[in-house]
Amino acid sequence: MEIENKLDESRIVTIEKEPEVGDLVSYRHNRELVGQRLETGLVLETWSDKGPFEGEVFPQALVYWGETEDEETFPLDDLEVISS
Domain locations in the chain as residue ranges? 9-83
SS3 at position 4? coil
* pTM, to two decimals: 0.71
Q: What is the pLDDT of residue 46?
A: 92
pLDDT digits (tens, 9 = 90+) for 42-75: 999 999 877 677 778 889 999 998 878 889 998 8
Q: What is the pLDDT of residue 64?
A: 93
Identity of the residue numbered 31: R
Check pLDDT > 60 for residue 29: yes
Which segments within the chain are labelled E, that is strand?
A: 24-27, 40-50, 57-65, 70-75, 79-83
25 HSE (CA, 13 A, CB side): 32
CATH code: domain 9-83 is 2.30.30.140
Q: What is the pLDDT of residue 1?
A: 59
Q: How far is CA 10 from CA 31, 37, 42, 45, 51, in A?
A: 11, 11, 20, 28, 37
Q: What is the pLDDT of residue 30?
A: 55
Identity of the residue numbered 66: G
